Amino acid sequence: MGFGTRALGSTLGATMTDRELVRSYIERAAVRADGDLGRYVQDRVAEARPHAHAGAEVPEGARLRGVKQAVVAASRPVTSHQSVVNHQVLDALERVAEDLRELGARITTADQYVSRVRATAATIEGLVDELVIGFEAERAAREALGGQLAAELERFATFRAEVLAELSIMRARQDTLLRAAREALPDGPTRLELLTRELTVHDEALYEEIEDAFRGTREAVTEMLSGYLDDVSAIEGTNPVVDVGCGRGEWLQLLADSGIDAYGCDINQVVVDRCQALGLDVRLADAVDHLAAIEPGTVRAVTSFHVAEHLSLDTLVALIDSALLALQPGGSLILETPNPNNHQVGAANFYLDPTHLKPLHPLFLEFLVRSRGFDEVEVRELHGPGFEPLLPTDLGGDPARTTPFVTALNDAFASSLDYAVIARKPGSAFGPA
């Protein structure tokens, strides 16, 4: 049977059964639901509920009502429960609609929560991006500041070194002037007299004979001095090298053969005559006075081989100060002297020359040169003793016990016979010294 309404009859068609009409109506209603599905289903159930009696009774005013009632009465054994079924279906649909509305509300709430979460995530992401950008900017600023600080520290360290170098030069000038003032006093000794008294030998020819006997042959001395050529060649410029106490002139000859401008000075007339006879430029002059008198900053290197041990501490300091004034920035001071760490030298060979005053320990001479304003100070051991050092097994017995003793013996007797202190004059921010 049909629902008995014009709307349902015209929409669903008169040829469909009541159940098919209800099912088709619900399905089409569900298809048309595009928003609040639960409310839509409820509305459609409300429209269908007046027709729930379909299959059980014929409403008033229906066409051919008598015929239909007869048909209903005849089919009642089959359709007696149709109305109940229809109401149950509609009730179920209402519950489904309510569940759909509740589900829709939950979905809406969930959508709102998701939207808030997404908005919060976007905000957090924006904050994170800002923090990252800020952190990168801060790190870049710190790195730039660190670079600036490092550059400033480097400039300050350079300036400090230059100031200290200038102060050392000023001190050397002051001490040189004070020494000159003392020597100018009526009863004060001259520099030449002081140095002569330190040498204690008035017979210059005899002193040269001592040198010839114990210094070694010219060839041997030349070979020993040749290693310093690299040190001098590494110094920039073409300013002359001044050799203090040039002796027989082996070093000056090496420099001349290498095309390096150089001259020597000595207070011994015999030395001066010998060197000049060889065509070498050697001047009769006190080294301290000569270095103090020349134009400051015009000497490439000041060298002195086996002279420092002849000088008193005051004269040695004066020589170092005068060399500092005379040297160009970056120029070198080279002092070679016997090594007292070798007991054979310190206890015996040193005194073969009666004009030696006292041995100079390497640590002391290094300290003295550094304290007067030089830097990059190197102590270089030279000239081995001529025999191989002992091995722990040479003494027999347990090497663990003999090793300390062998080491002490080697330090005392197998160390170098001489050493050199090689120092550099620092550059100056105030121009030539």
Domains of the chain: 6-116 (no CATH), 189-424 (3.40.50.150)
Average pLDDT of the chain is 79
Residue 98's pLDDT band (boundaries 50, 70, 90)?
Answer: confident
pLDDT band at 37 (very low <50, low <70, confident <90, very high): low
Which of 119 and 15 is assigned the larger pLDDT? Answer: 119
Structure token pair of residue 275: 């060197």
Classify the C-alpha dihedral 196-198-202-203 as positive or negative: negative
Q: What is the predicted pLDDT for the residue at 333?
A: 98
pLDDT reported for residue 310: 92
Mean of pLDDT values over 292-305: 96
pLDDT band for 12, please (50, 70, 90 cuts): very low
Q: How confident is the model at residue 316 (pLDDT cuts 50, 70, 90)?
A: very high
pLDDT for position 431: 40
**53-62, 169-178, 210-219, 282-291: which is most confident:** 282-291
**Which tops the pLDDT comparison, 333 or 385?**
333
Distance CA(76)–CA(81), nearest Å, equals 8
Rounded Cα distance, 99 and 87, in Å: 18
pLDDT band, very low/low/confident/very high, at 432 (cuts 50, 70, 90): very low
Q: Which residues pair with 375 in a beta bridge?
A: 424
Query: Which amino acid does the sequence have at 269?
Result: Q
pTM exceeding the 0.85 threshold for the entire prediction: no
The pLDDT-based confidence of 314 (bands split at 50, 70, 90) is very high
pLDDT bracket for residue 140 (50, 70, 90): confident
Encode pLDDT of 18-34 as tens digits.
Answer: 655 655 655 555 545 44
Confidence of residue 352 (pLDDT cuts 50, 70, 90): confident
pLDDT at 39: 65
User: How far, in Å, are 7, 8, 346 from residue 14 at the CA level?
Assistant: 11, 9, 139
Q: What is the pLDDT, as a whole number, of residue 91?
A: 74
